[in-house]
Structures are given as C-alpha cells and as structure tokens.
A and B are shown apart, each in its own frame.
Chain A
Amino acid sequence: METINISPGVRLTVINELKFKTACLSMNVLTPLRKETAAMCAVLPYVLRRGTASKPDMQAIEAYLDDNYGARLEAFVRKRGETQICGFYSDFADEAFVGSDTMLLEKMAELMGEMLLSPATFGGRLRPEYVETERENLLADIRASLNDKRGYANLSLIQNMFKKEAYGVPKLGRELEAKKISVATLTRYYRELIAASPIEVIYVGAASARRVESAVKSALSTKMPVFGASMPQTEVFDGSIRKPKIIREELPLKQAKLSIGYRIGKSAIENNQPALTIMNSIFGGAVTSKLFREVREKRGLCYYASSTVDRMKGAMFVSCGIDTEKYDEAMDAIASQLSAMQEGDITDEELENAKSFVVGAMYSVEDSLPARESVTLNFLLQGLDIKPSEFGGLCDLVTKEEVVRCAQSVQLDTVFFLAGKGSAK
C-alpha cells in the first residue's frame, strides 16, 4: 500500500494486487454531511455521470465504456460517520487479459476526471435536462426507502436518534431539500464543492504506483489545488446520561421491525477500535453472537436479529423482525444480552468465536476488489494506516476485559418500533 499526494487536497492510495482479473479506481470527494447540502451532494455525481464536455450524453459514454472491454463506471454517494462522499467507481479488465496497449487505467482515470471537472454544460451551467431528471430520480430514491421495511426502520431510527446531529441526515438527503434543487443552485454547489473539498483516489490492481500516479495527475491536471483542506470530522458522543426515547409507528405489515440505537462512549471510540469490533461481533455481529443464539435460535422470537457498529460515530444498532405482540419479550431478551456482556458474562468460547469471525472476515476483504476499495476508504477516514488483515491481527489480541470495558460504555438511546397493524395480520 502506498499513499501519494497528487496535489494539495488530492491524495492517491495504491494497493498492488496481482491476483484479480479486474482493477478498480475510485475518486471520492469528501464533504461534511449537512442537512442543507446533502441532497445536492447526493444528486451531483449522477448529473455529472450523464455527460462530459467531450462525451455529452449517455450513449456516448456507454459506447466508450463498451469499446473499452465493457469497463464500468458508476456514480455513488456514501456516508461515513458525518462525512458525505460523492464520486465515481470504475472497474475494468486487467490488462493481462486484454493487452497492455489498451491503457484502460489511463482512459478510465481520464473519463472520471472529465466527469468531475469538465461536465457537459449549457450556457455555463450544468445541463438543465440532466439536473431535472436526476433530481426526480433522487426524489424517487428517497421515497423508495419505504419499500424496504427493515431499511426504513433503521433509517427512521437514525433520523430520530441523531435529530440534532449531522449523523441524523440520511445519505441521500431529505425530500424537502431535494425538491428545491435547481440548475442554478446545483451549479453553484458543484463549483464550491470542487473548489474546496479534499479528494481521496483509490486504486486496487496490478499497475505500478508510478503509473497510477501519472494517470491520476494527468486526469486531474485542471483541478485547482485546495490548500489547507482538512478531512471532515465526526463528532463523538460525550458519554452523558440521557433518557431513552421510544418511537412507535404503524403500518399494515405481517412482520414488525424493531430497531434499537445505542451510544458508545468516546474513550472506546478513540482508544480501542479492535475491542469495539470484537464486542459487536460477540453481541450481534455474527452467527455465534448472543443475539443470534438467544433471541433467534433459543427463543425463536425472530427470523433475523443482528447488530452493527459505527466505529466513527460511536454508535451501535440492533435490527430485528418480530411479531408485533412480542415487542416486550424481544426488548427484554436483547437488554439482558447487553447487560450480560457488561457484567462480564462472556465465555472464552464466545470471545474466540468472535475473533475467528472477525479475523476471517478481514482476510476475505483482501480477496475481494470492491470490499478492499471500500474498507480502504473507511480506514483512510479513520486514520488507520494498516491493511485489513493487520486490523484483524489487532482484533485477535483483544482481551475479555477490554470488551467488557467497551460494553460498559454502551447505553441505550433510542428505540424505533415499526408495528404491524390491522388488515395484514
């Protein structure tokens, strides 16, 4: 792994892997997550993906990608802690299989650079027809969060739990702000974003760091340097006691969805990321976890029950699907598993199982191109300067005491219960 400063504000990370048949390149524009700008940041890469100065429409871009051995280039928006990230991800054939004169890396870097810096315009602004259709698509996407009830419950939990914090802003922004997007506001936002934001470029593949560096330099040569650009920061919970909020909503569902949010203390976030990972894995992150065994297997309360942890924000989330009338029973079962962990009721076996799970998962990350790219970005944002397998190695050293200390800083914050009602039962 090599990290190279391309220009002030643009950093490239190159990971050399010879075993994949494809390579990938991503350009990530980082900006603080804000309610006012989130929808614009979410729509922007999709507008830019529609056409560039030299390839002004979808058909031109698709034909170009087809010609380059079916390379793919996708727009994305991501959320990591309180950082919103928009940009592009491309994967393309490794030159060992299509010939080294194809220059796929250079071509994809250049196309991405064009999308970021020289979009198709009309009268000096982003093209109105692109802005309008993509705004409608974004609105449809935001509204469609209702279609997947588990996702909807999790999203509602986060919006309620972090009402006063940037973390509560959804990745796609909110309908209210999305509706207001116009050619003028989006063009202005675009120029400000590109002028002020740091960019992380990630490459995973067989090409040498020097070659990637020169391809990226050339692709972003017209970008003005951003002096003093700093990584957006995520505010972490201070550890003060709050009274848990409980929110209940009803929909005609056959299966109710229970989403629970916990805060994790600042010191655990800052000092012991591996212990957090292992704690989550013991609690609900793996099939050997307490939630899976107790709530699902032993008590048959639900089909799924799992937990995830956001190590940047300092939060843990439980998600499960239950019968509406089993609410109290499920809440009790989950709470008792958490207190068991806080009281040190963790067997050696549970600890070892959690470790093997995490270590195995981290090794597997290095065997998958998209997972490697995504985890590399996470680590860069967390300031972790190691490989996934090395992080796995650190997790393997975590002691029971560290896990218990971590668990003791966990406190219930908000419950979102999407109950089933009436007709569908």
Chain B
Amino acid sequence: MTKKEYPRIGETVFYETLENGLRVAIVKKPGFRKKMAFLSAAFGSADIRFTYKGEKYEMPAGTAHFLEHKMFERESGEDALAILSKRGATANAFTSTDMTAFHFDCTKHFYENLETLIDFVMHPAFTDESIEKEKPIIAQEIVMGEDDPDNALYYNLLRCLFRRHPIRDAVVGTVKSIENITAEKLMLCHEAFYVPGNMQLVLCGDLDEREAIKKVTELMTAPRGFAPERAYPKESEKPVKEEKTAVMDVAAPIFLAGAKTEPGLTGSRAIRHELTAALSLSILMGEASPLYSRLYSEGVINETFGYDFESANGVSFISFGGETDESDRVISDVMREAKILSENGLDRDFFERRKRSVIGDELRGLSSFDSICYNVACAMSEGYDYFDLVPVLSGITEKEVRDFLAKYVTPGRFAVSTVRGREDE
C-alpha cells in the first residue's frame, strides 16, 4: 500500500493494486460520518466493437448501459438497490462512453454494503426473461432522453464532429438497438470487461486503510481476467459536417459549437491537455473574461452560456454554447478573441488570477464525495494522479494557453448544432 499526502490540499490517499489487478484508492476524510464506495469497470457505451480471446464481437448500441441496469438483479429475486436502501444507503449507477460505475454512500453498515456492492457487480443473475422485462423500462428512459433538447443539441454536435467513432451514439442506445440485446451477449460483456484487471475501486470517508484493504481483498476474489482489445476509428481534425439544426419545443434557440482537440493522449499528457483546455477556455470566455462581460452586457448571451472540455475513448473536444438569438455573432466573436489573445499575448495579472480561480474550482470539487470518487476512478483508469492537478495547473505557461487557442479555437475546426422552437420554422 502506498501512502500519498498532498499538504497543499490537505488530502491523504492510500493506493493499492491487488494481486488480481484491481486498483484501489482510499481517500481519507476524517470527521465525516458519510462513507462512499465507487466501483467502476472500464467499459462504456463506446465499447461495442472488441476482440476477446481471439474472437471479434460487435454489440448493439446501448449494451453497456443495459448491462448496468441488469446487474442489480439478484438470484433471490430481490433488487440490490433495495438491499442497500434498506440499510439506509443511497445507491446508484451510471454508464458513460468509457465507464460503467456502481456506487453507494451511507452512514452505517459500510462493510456490509461494500460486500453487497462487490457481490452484485461481480455476479450477474439475470435471465432471458428478465432481460425482456427490462426492455420497456429502458425504452422509456431512451424516449425520455430523445425529448430532451439538450440531449439533441449534444448528440447532433457529436455527429457533426465525428464520422464513425461510437462516442457519437447515445449511451442508452435506441429503442431499436436494444431489441437485439440478449442475456448471452450481456453475459459475454460481463465476463470480458467486469474483471479486476479492468476495474477500479475508490473508497472515501473516515476509514481505517488497513481494515479497508483487508476487507476488499477478502471480498474481491475474482481472477484478473483477459482485457479485451478495443480499437476506435481514427478521425480527421476537421468536422464531418459543419452544422445541424433540430426543431423542438424550446422557448429560445440554443446552440452548441465544438471542435476536436488532441486525440490519443494518455496519462500525465492527458491531464495537462485537459487543464490547459480548462484554463484557456476560462481566459477566453469564462465569466470573468472581457468577452463574456461584453456579450452578457449587450444581452447577446445569458447565464446559460458555458463551455466544456471532454475526453474519452481516445478522442477529445471542446464546446461552448447557450441560449441566444445570435449564435453566429457569438461564434465569430469567440474566434476573433481567440486570435487576438493568441497573437498579442495575455495580460500577466489576468492570467495568474484565472489560474488561481481554476485551482479554486478544482479544490471545490474535493468537498464532494461523488466528485472525488468519480475523478479518482477516471484518473486511475487513465493512469494519472488526480490529486496532482494543482501543481500541474500551476505549471501551465502563458505560451501553452496561447498555443492552445491558436491551434484549436479556429473557424475551420468548428461545427455548430442548433435547436430552435417550432414557431421559428
């Protein structure tokens, strides 16, 4: 077990890799009654094509999410969620493009709950019949998402940006794609991906690290497994399509513009790229930037305006958008400002101030158990140290920000997705 202390942020974390390959982190939280466990597998909606034990497979869209739902089923007929809730725990799960995670938090019966968590995640108990029964419930979830304008906005942008990469498909799949899901396919995915060598466990709370590791070792007895090979299609720098518009019941038009950034980064290079993106976008169009202030004062944008950076499954992209009647104007102003900043350089004080503020934002994330667990699990899976982000951020130079803006925030790279109301037709 490795102990790491981070005095600048007042955190102590223990790391251990079990013999079967499971990576475990214990984040100490003295004084808190709440305890949380977060168990994740590096298996997401984008992992639909893979090679396992020499065989090539292609799964229906929405498989990872469907499997997540079905893991809660127990042989006894009782739902694992109900078992945990009865002990006063709050449990949930989610699927993203590159991860499926199961977690609970509680103030009592922590190790009993941990046993339940590991047991139901490692031992599927679904049947063909129960799979069929789940389909209408998931179909309801799918159509609920399809009615959501933000969802349409987001996936339309991804479909403009990416030609074939599965990140462009909804995590939940479609009503049609889930029809093809069977117990056999889910079982195969479970066998291939829900193995300790492909998983992470994060525990957070006022825990004794030796006791915790001992329990985890006793509970997680599965063998390491063979990690399947996944290959994602290569994508060009430019978008496939420049724009896409949907018409839905929205009160005012909303837009989301996005561009691909550096693909294929891992480990410390990935985290540096991500933090450089966060800092660059904050300097360019964050609430404290002159650009934001100008557009907001003129009433062109409102508080729905925001920006983001995302990376998963070997690709990454930036996006910005919000509600406005003048998306063309916002986009061209952003591009112009990026050019000016990258050519003329940044105000020294402003640069340092923004840096401190981005550090402040990151530190704020450390007061939420959910956010700690999620971020530590992602970092372990990607191979970097989440708690090192303050020194990494501190080390980012003005030149890196200027280069980022010059390279990625340029008109030719962007695609625009818009959702507008019916009366604007």
Contact = CB atoms under 8 A, between A and B. Distances in A.
A136 B107 contact: no
A63 interface: yes
B302 A254 contact: no
Which of A59, A66, A252, A300 is the most central at the interface, judged by chain B CB atoms within 10 Å of its CB?
Answer: A66
Given A59-B288, A133-B296, A146-B249, A22 B364 contact: yes
A352 B107 CA distance: 16
Contacts of A67: 353, 356
Given A67-B353, A70-B359, A149 B147 contact: yes
Interface stretch (A229-237, A310-318, A358-366, A405-413): A358-366
Given A59-B293, A129-B297, A255 B358 contact: no
Contact of A363 (B8, B9, B107): B107
Contacts of A363: 33-34, 107
B10 interface: yes
Given A147-B149, A286-B85, A368 B368 contact: yes
Given A364-B34, A364-B107, A66 B288 contact: yes
A62 B288 CA distance: 5
B392 interface: no
Interface string B280-304: 0000000110100100111100111
A147 B288 CA distance: 28
B386 to A, nearest CB: 15
B251 A58 contact: no
B86 interface: yes
B57 interface: no
Nearest to A368: B368
Given A133-B296, A357-B88, A19 B81 contact: no
Contact of A66 (B82, B251, B299, B357): B357
B367 interface: yes
A399 B270 CA distance: 55
A321 B144 contact: yes
Interface in A285-332: 286-288, 293, 296-297, 300, 302-304, 321-323
A122 interface: no
A71 B86 CA distance: 39
A158 B141 CA distance: 25
Given A66-B288, A288-B82, A367-B33, A137 B88 contact: no
A163 interface: no
Interface in A78-98: 91, 93, 96-97
Contacts of B122: none
A147 B251 CA distance: 7
A69 B9 contact: no
A99 to B, nearest CB: 12
Contacts of B105: 364
A93 B360 contact: yes
A-side interface size class: 35 or more
Interface string A248-290: 0001111100000000000000000000000000000011100
A66 B354 CA distance: 7
A63 B10 contact: no
B86 A288 contact: yes
Contacts of B90: 357, 360-361, 364
A251 B249 contact: yes
A303 to B, nearest CB: 4
A321 B140 contact: yes
A296 B136 CA distance: 10
Contacts of B353: 63, 66-67
B31 interface: yes
Contacts of A322: 140
Nearest to B205: A367
A182 interface: no
Given A59-B293, A303-B140, A22 B367 contact: yes
B425 to A, nearest CB: 13
B281 to A, nearest CB: 15
B144 A255 contact: yes
Given A255-B143, A363-B33, A368-B368, A143 B252 contact: yes
B356 A140 contact: no
Contacts of A21: 9-10, 363, 366-367
Given A67-B353, A361-B90, A369-B367, A137 B251 contact: no
A271 B360 CA distance: 45
A22 B367 CA distance: 8
Given A147-B149, A364-B107, A287 B88 contact: no
A46 to B, nearest CB: 8
Contacts of B359: 70
B89 interface: yes
A58 B296 contact: yes
Given A19-B31, A133-B297, A297-B79, A288 B85 contact: yes
A336 interface: no
B293 A303 contact: no
A384 interface: no
Contacts of A140: 251-252, 302, 304, 323
Given A62-B287, A255-B140, A364-B34, A132 B89 contact: no
Given A19-B32, A364-B34, A353 B250 contact: no
B296 A303 contact: no
A65 interface: yes
A360 B251 contact: no
B315 interface: no
A397 interface: no
A133 B303 CA distance: 11
A304 to B, nearest CB: 8
B416 to A, nearest CB: 19
A91 B368 CA distance: 14
Contacts of A59: 288, 290, 293
A63 B288 contact: yes
A140 B301 CA distance: 11
Contacts of A302: 137, 140
B9 A71 contact: no
16 contacts: A19-B32, A21-B363, A63-B288, A66-B357, A67-B356, A70-B364, A93-B363, A97-B9, A251-B249, A254-B144, A286-B85, A288-B85, A353-B82, A360-B106, A363-B33, A363-B34
Interface of B: 8-10, 29-34, 79, 81-82, 85-91, 105-108, 133, 136-138, 140-141, 143-144, 146-150, 249-252, 287-288, 290, 293, 296-299, 302-304, 323, 353-354, 356-361, 363-364, 366-369
Given A137-B303, A293-B82, A357-B90, 6 more contacts: A91-B364, A144-B251, A146-B250, A255-B147, A360-B106, A360-B108
